[in-house]
Structure 1
Amino acid sequence: MREPPARFDPDPSLSRAAMEALQRDIADAAVFGDDLPFDPARVGDGDPEAPVVAGVDQAFRTDRDPTVAVSAIVCWRGGEVVERTHAAVEVDFPYVPGLLSFREAGPILAAFGTLDHDPDLALFDGSGRLHFRQAGLATHVGTALDVPSVGVAKSLLCGTPRGSVDALPETARVPIEVREDDDVDAPVGTVIGYVYQSRQFPDSRRINPLYVSPGHRIGAETAVGVVARCGGDYKLPEPTRLADAYADEMK
């Protein structure tokens, strides 16, 4: 992987105002449309030439002072794991809604620096454009590395679904747009992500949906499509599910 430009450094010593200004600069540099080096319809194909998808997740050792972030990356191609790597980095910046990348992006970039593969796409446990300043974790890291990226979050930070998201059937997708009263730096009516019901079971046991958004070099509709193609038997797309398990293992 190439070195990220210094101007995108997720420096946790910055003031809040400076962090928010940096996020706006990142959003300006990000590409929220398809600019992909692969055919998204081939993601997940059982083919040695299928795109390499990097699932990214973290676990934290809070019994240390400062806390240690274990950033895990699992590279997945055609349903098979082709590489696993991780980095353990001390962090002393707390979780602050809207500023997650200043806690997690540094350790994640360290893990990307140890990869042998150059992934075609990265899936993050966090938001991309579904962010107050359109620069969640997937956008920050994806833009810094200039890698197509998607955010896959378990909760909705901002934006408004166009329809009800209660009791969605499996594979249902509901656009998330910006409305007048949403605190989002994007024009009203812009689709900034999708609610995606990845799994549902016959016994009607409730499974909360995922919130998928473009990070960099991919559009919202294509982003939810590739997440669907990475699906398995669980709620999370397989690359991030595997990264979650690997991060816990390394912790």
Structure 2
Amino acid sequence: MEIVEAPAGWPATEEAARAVQDALRERVVLDEAGPPPGTGTVTGVDVAYDDERDLVAAAAVVLDAATLAVVAEATAVGRVSFPYVPGLLAFREIPTVLAALGALRADPGLVVCDGYGRAHPRRFGLASHLGVLTGLRVIGVAKNPFVFDHAEPGTARGSWTPLLAGDGEEVGRALRTREGVKPVFVSAGHRVGLDAACAHTLHLAPEFRLPETTRRADALCRAALREAAAVAPGG
């Protein structure tokens, strides 16, 4: 089993990580519409942790955007490369996520992260970070809000309310993907605007609360982590 290590020079302190966020945030592009929902390919990425063994597993699952059928998938297992610090989780995950994306045998198209883009205290969550590093179009669809206020959206599928920062900026949306079910929390990451991000999320969630990209990637990274843990020392 090959273990992904963080690249040389990867930030090791909170101060260094925040400096990287500040530098890369200036490169985020939010005024591109991106491809129409249901066209090309779309890729879900997700990670799972085994803190006892210091392992993180990442999965990337490419779907045909029209049919939501799986086109390609890949996993990678790495060492946790940064301590747990709220707002800096991308630094724990990105080296292994990049390895999984790099192992794909298909064009990832639009990438959907289980996390945040603009809806982040420093306006630079995983979806933005990954997009800037790869140049890919990326959006964030999170299961829970981070630190932003929002009103409860209407009960109908497609209803939404803004996620608002303290200065009134709309940094994302609470979006209802199933009638009467808890919303998901959508934000633009890189090279896709917020309206398009919400449209893609609805298209990718025809039956369940979470987009199919997230559901498939979540299952795959958990399976990869179980396999890695079984052969790791102490497994």
Distance 2:20 2:204 in 1: 31
Say if 1:33 and 1:160 are closer, same or farther in 2 by CA, change over 3 A. farther
Q: Where in structure 2 are there 5+ consecutive unaligned residues?
A: 1-6, 226-235
Instruction: Find the counterpart in structure 1 of residue 229 from structure 2.
Output: none
Q: CA deviation at 1:132?
A: 1.1
Kept in 1: contact 2:153–2:160 (CA 8 A): no
Say if 1:27 and 1:168 are closer, same or farther in 2 by CA, change over 3 A. farther
Instruction: Find the counterpart in structure 2 of residue 75 from structure 1.
Output: 62
Q: Do residues 108 (structure 1) and 97 (structure 2) align?
A: yes
Q: CA deviation at 1:10?
A: 8.6
Identify the match of residue 17 of structure 2 among 16, 19, 22. 19
Distance 2:49 2:14 in 1: 23
Matches within 5 A, 1:4-153: 11-13=10-12, 15-34=13-32, 36=34, 38=35, 40=36, 43-44=37-38, 50-64=39-53, 67-77=54-64, 78=66, 79-153=68-142
Q: What amino acid maps onto 2:170 in structure 1?
A: V
Distance 1:125 1:217 in 2: 17
Distance 1:31 1:170 in 2: 28
User: If the length of structure 2 is used for normalisation, what is the TM-score?
Assistant: 0.85
Aligned residues: 217
- Write the deviation string for residues 173-222 of structure 1: whole angstroms up to 9, x where unpaired: 112233xxx2xxxxx34321111111135xxxxx3211100000011111
Kept in 2: contact 1:124–1:151 (CA 8 A): yes
Segments of 4+ moved more than 6 angstroms: none
Instruction: Find the counterpart in structure 1 of residue 157 from structure 2.
Output: 170
Distance 1:60 1:17 in 2: 24
- Write the deviation string for residues 141-188 of structure 1: whole angstroms up to 9, x where unpaired: 111001010011112123332xx216733321112233xxx2xxxxx3
Kept in 1: contact 2:153–2:175 (CA 8 A): no
Instruction: Find the counterpart in structure 2 of residue 250 from structure 1.
Output: 224
Q: CA deviation at 1:25?
A: 1.7
Kept in 1: contact 2:31–2:191 (CA 8 A): yes
Tell me the C-alpha RMSD between the 2 structures.
2.0
Q: Do residues 195 (structure 1) and 174 (structure 2) align?
A: yes
User: If the length of structure 1 is used for normalisation, what is the TM-score?
Assistant: 0.80
Distance 1:136 1:92 in 2: 17
Distance 1:130 1:115 in 2: 28
Q: CA deviation at 1:9?
A: 8.5
SS in 2 for 1:25: helix
SS in 2 for 1:160: coil
Say if 1:145 and 1:9 are closer, same or farther in 2 by CA, change over 3 A. farther
Identify the match of residue 224 of structure 1 among 192, 198, 209. 198
Q: CA deviation at 1:106?
A: 1.2
Say if 1:171 and 1:10 are closer, same or farther in 2 by CA, change over 3 A. farther
Kept in 2: contact 1:73–1:112 (CA 8 A): yes
Distance 1:166 1:189 in 2: 18
Say if 1:167 and 1:173 are closer, same or farther in 2 by CA, change over 3 A. closer
Q: What amino acid maps onto 1:194 in structure 2?
A: R
- Write the deviation string for residues 125-150 of structure 1: whole angstroms up to 9, x where unpaired: 11011011111001101110010100
Distance 1:174 1:10 in 2: 40
Kept in 2: contact 1:51–1:119 (CA 8 A): no
